[in-house]
Amino acid sequence: MLTLTGADRILIDPQTERGGTLSVGPDGRIAAEPSADPDAVPLDVSGCVVTAGLVNAHHHLLQSGFRTLPGTRGAAMRDWLPAMAGAYAAAGIDASLTRATAAVGVAESLLSGVTTVADHQLNWPAPGESADPVAETVEIARAISAAAASLGARLVFVRGSARDDPALAAASADAIIDDLLPRGHVGGVTDDGMRQIAVGPAGVHSDGEATFRALGEVAARHGVRRRTQANEQVDTEIALARYGRRPLDLLEEWGWLAPDVTIAHLCDVTPDEIDRLAAAGVSATHAPGCDVPMGWGIAPVARLREAGLRVGLGTSGGGSNDAGHLLADARLAMQISGLVGPQLPARAVLGMATEDGAVGLGRADLGHLRVGARADICVWDVSGVADAGVADPVAGLLWASPGRRPRHVVVGGRVVVRDYRLVGHDEHAIVAALRARLQS
């Protein structure tokens, strides 16, 4: 068991701010009463803000090995996509590559306060490279899952597609779900909440109706959630050129505007489209750290939220963002929000980075510090010079100290980062393993 103790601190979730002692029960959930267990491990959080673990609702972990590549910075997506694909092909996508890149991406996530990572894995071995392509995709999914499990992070693995054969994508998704989830799972989540499976094409710019319908049938058959990307500027351009229609028109026709669907980006949306998304019960994910520096647009988050959408926050991948630091992107989300509507307040964006992102994953057990929640906790030291003079330590958590990292991170009651270092893992060894794989 674990008990958080200390003076002069703030506990915050999207609905409640309070002080006092926070205890974690033996089931890894927040307990109603302080622990009376003499063996409970204390974690001193004096002078800190304590939040729920951050939820990165949209990442591409593979890209953690392919940052700042020539020809990929500030590039149009029509140029960026083939540049990234060429780098993946040169490295050779297999389980060894995805395990190494996932380990780097997940370690970076934990060290920056992210306890749950949704990994939209879109890239797979090229057709003809494997005697059993379905089995190889299962090995890749296992490798990513194993990397997250070893480090102690929660993983939402999204079996994505980008120009895949529809039948192969569906067969692979079926096999991955059967392999990584127990029978009788609820919502694609393991009993301990550490692993979740979802499905989703990259978007209408890469996948057609057959793929969307095939993966939609997989989701319905297994009771898992669906995720995709839509309405970045190039997505709209391609949809209009190819189909003469906008992306959300296609998604609606293909059965992908529904309460079990989360859509990332949504930069180029009209007021009517926002109303349709809200009426359909879709949730959204804002990815400013990808969309803004690449020049792909800015999602009108305030308008989406006013319409009733739950909007989570994601970093997207290292190939467009170069970082997996969700709190830094929360700061960016506040900074740019005034360009497309009213400025977002810090508490709203903190909610996007925690509970709202969890809701989009179908995870009511994550993203808050209420009794019975999974004990995913971040401890942020706000006692140093970077926070001096800050009147509101919660707003300062996002506004002050860009690049802030948590002192401690707890996942399910287990301390996985202590005093800014991974527990039980050598950060430099993780980096060396990726470097060795890329050079092999």
pLDDT tens sequence across 322-364: 999 999 999 999 999 999 999 999 999 999 999 999 999 999 9
Specify the pairing of strand 311-313 against strand 414-418.
Answer: unpaired
pLDDT greater than 80 at residue 248: yes
| pLDDT reported for residue 216 | 98
pLDDT greater than 90 at residue 34: no
| pLDDT reported for residue 44 | 84
pTM for the complete prediction? 0.96
Beta carbons of 157 and 106 less than 8 angstroms apart: no
Structure tokens, 132: 């059993």
d(CA 210, CA 229): 17
How large is the average pLDDT for residues 293-305?
95
Which of 59-73, 117-131, 213-227, 249-263 shows the lowest per-residue confidence on average (mean pLDDT)? 117-131
How large is the average pLDDT for residues 31-54?
82
How large is the average pLDDT for residues 73-80?
84
Specify the pairing of strand 10-12 against strand 48-52.
Answer: parallel
pLDDT, tens digit (0-9, with 9 covering 90-100), for 377-405 = 999 999 999 999 999 998 999 999 999 99
How large is the average pLDDT for residues 59-83?
91
358 to 198, 209, 376: CA distances (angstroms): 14, 28, 12
pLDDT greater than 80 at residue 132: yes
Rg (CA), the chain: 21
| pLDDT reported for residue 20 | 65
pLDDT, tens digit (0-9, with 9 covering 90-100), for 101-117 = 999 999 999 999 999 99
SS (H, E, C) the chain: CEEEECCCCEEECCCCEECCCEEECCCCEECCCCCCCCCCEEEECCCEEEEECEEEEEECHHHHHCCCCCCCCCCCHHHHHHHHHHHHHHHCCCHHHHHHHHHHHHHHHHHCCEEEEEEEECCCCCCCCCCCHHHHHHHHHHHHHHHHHHHCCEEEEEEEECCCCHHHHHHHHHHHHHHHCCCCCECCECCCCCEEEEEEECCCCCCCHHHHHHHHHHHHHHCCEEEEEECCHHHHHHHHHHHCCCHHHHHHHCCCCCCCEEEEECCCCCHHHHHHHHHHCCEEEECHHHHHHHCCCCCCHHHHHHCCCCEEECCCCCCCCCCCCHHHHHHHHHHHHCCCCCCCCHHHHHHHHHHHHHHHCCCCCCCCCCCCCECCEEEEECCCHHHCCCCCHHHHHHHCCCCCCCCEEEECCEEEEECCEECCCCHHHHHHHHHHHHHC
| pLDDT reported for residue 19 | 63
CB-based contacts of 80-86 (< 8 A; 24+ apart in sequence): 80/294, 80/319, 80/320, 81/206, 84/319, 85/123
Please tell me the total number of residues recorded for the chain in this structure: 440
| pLDDT band (50, 70, 90) for residue 17 | low
Q: What is the layout of strands, in order, in the sheet containing 377-381? A: 17-18, 10-12, 48-52, 377-381, 408-411, 414-418, 421-422
- For residue 164, give the amino acid letter: D
| pLDDT band (50, 70, 90) for residue 15 | low
Which of 182-186, 193-197, 353-357 shows the lowest per-residue confidence on average (mean pLDDT)? 182-186
Nearest to 304 by CA among 327, 279, 329, 275: 275
| pLDDT band (50, 70, 90) for residue 46 | confident
pLDDT greater than 80 at residue 33: no
45 vs 253, higher pLDDT: 253
Beta carbons of 11 and 410 less than 8 angstroms apart: no
pLDDT greater than 70 at residue 211: yes
pLDDT, tens digit (0-9, with 9 covering 90-100), for 313-323 = 999 999 999 99
Q: Distance from first CA to last CA of the chain, Å, rounded? A: 43
Average pLDDT, rounded, for the chain: 94
How large is the average pLDDT for residues 184-202?
96
| pLDDT band (50, 70, 90) for residue 297 | very high
How large is the average pLDDT for residues 245-254?
98
